[in-house]
Amino acid sequence: MADTLDARMKHLRSRSPQNAKDGLAPDRQSIDLEPLAEDPGKRGFTRRSFLSGLGAAGVLAGAAPLAAAAPLVEPATEDQTDSAGTGNVTLRINGKDYALRNLDPRATLLDTLRERIHLTGTKKGCDHGQCGACTVHVNGRRVNSCLSFALMHEGDEITTIEGLGQPGNLHPMQAAFVEHDGYQCGYCTSGQIMSAVALLKEPIGESEDDVKQAMSGNICRCGAYTNILAAVKQVRSRA
């Protein structure tokens, strides 16, 4: 019912155009200069760069509500290890260190990944730990990145879908999702895959019901469950 529907939609509403300058949030301009993030230009048109270009027309305008205050992302250096109370934190993501300065303490790990570091493979669904779209691995275990503040993750080893595999070098679970058509719209897919990879190392049972149970923290509104299950079962049987 009313529960949190209103709150769930809030992050969509709060994308006010005031952060947008010429269609680009200030931090996006800076991130493009960073060696840490891939330059979308190198790969020609991407879906995201295309959508970003539409920002002036009001689509996804200024999609960086938390990051606007202090958008610098810098490579880590030795003397930036103190995170307590300063809003400075070094996050280790997919084997790379990202030194973030003046991070708003309210920035969740999810928002930080997406809006500061621009690893947008991790998706924001409900933002309340109810859908699993934001699932990433922290120290090898799957968690909901929407329910954790980024400042809490100094020293943690974080893996996102981008770190799992890339086009041409897919993780077996990614390949299995492609093979079994384990998605329709694709929005839940990165969370599904992060969960599916994590469960390979969890002490769950052998049965199909065990897999369903272990995947139940990831909701798919399209209802691709049958194909997701087939993909997970295939990878489990080959592991």
Partner 1 sequence: METFSYVKAPSIDKALASAAEAKFIAGGTTLVDLMKLSVEIPKTLVDINLLPLDKIEKLPNAGLRIGAMVRNSDLAWNTDVQKSYAVLSEALLSGASPQLRNMATTGGNLLQRTRCAYFREPSAGTPGGYGCNKRTPGTGCAALDGFNRTHAVLGTSEHCIATHPSDMCVAMAALEAVIHVEGPKGKRSIAFADFHKLPGDTPQIENTLEPGELITHVDLPRPVEGAKSTYLKLRDRASYEFALASAAVVARVEGGHIRYVRVAMGGVGTKPWRSHEAEAALMGKPANASTFKAAAEVALAKAKPQKDNAFKIELARRCLVRSLKTATA
What is the spatial distance between Cα 190 and Cα 15, in angstroms, rounded to a whole number?
A: 23
Selected binder of partner 1 within 128, 181, 222, 226 (CB under 8 A):
128
- Tell me the residue ranges of DSSP E strands in the chain: 73-75, 89-93, 96-100, 135-138, 141-144, 157-159
- Closest approach of partner 1 to the CB of residue 144, in Å: 5
- Closest approach of partner 1 to the CB of residue 75, in Å: 23
Place of tokens 């879908």: 161
Selected binder of partner 1 within 9, 51, 59, 152 (CB under 8 A):
152
Q: Which of residues 15-74 bind partner 1 (CB under 8 A)?
A: none
DSSP class per residue in 104-137: -TT-BHHHIIIIIS--TTS--SSSSSSS-TTEEE
Site for partner 1 contains 121 (CB under 8 A): no
- Closest approach of partner 1 to the CB of residue 232, in Å: 13
Site for partner 1 contains 225 (CB under 8 A): no
- Closest approach of partner 1 to the CB of residue 130, in Å: 8
Residues in the chain: 239
Neighbouring residues of 65: CB distance < 8 A, sequence distance ≥ 6: 11, 14, 15, 16, 19, 115
Tell me, residue by residue from 90 to 109, as one string, x for binding to partner 1 by CB under 8 A and - for no binding: --------------xxx-x-
Site for partner 1 contains 154 (CB under 8 A): yes
Q: 52 vs 83, which CB is nearer to partner 1? A: 83
What is the spatial distance between Cα 76 and Cα 110, in angstroms, rounded to a whole number?
A: 20
What is the spatial distance between Cα 202 and Cα 141, in angstroms, rounded to a whole number?
A: 9
Site for partner 1 contains 127 (CB under 8 A): yes
DSSP class per residue in 208-231: HHHHHHHTTTS--SS--HHHHHHH
Site for partner 1 contains 172 (CB under 8 A): no
Tell me, residue by residue from 176 to 215, as one string, x for binding to partner 1 by CB under 8 A and - for no binding: -------------------x--xx--xx--------xxx-
Contact 210, 184 (CB under 8 A): no
Strands 89-93 and 135-138: unpaired
Q: Which of residues 68-87 bind partner 1 (CB under 8 A)?
A: 83-85, 87
Binding site for partner 1 (CB under 8 A): 1-4, 6-7, 83-85, 87, 104-106, 108, 127-129, 132, 135, 141-144, 146-149, 151-152, 154, 195, 198-199, 202-203, 212-214, 216-218
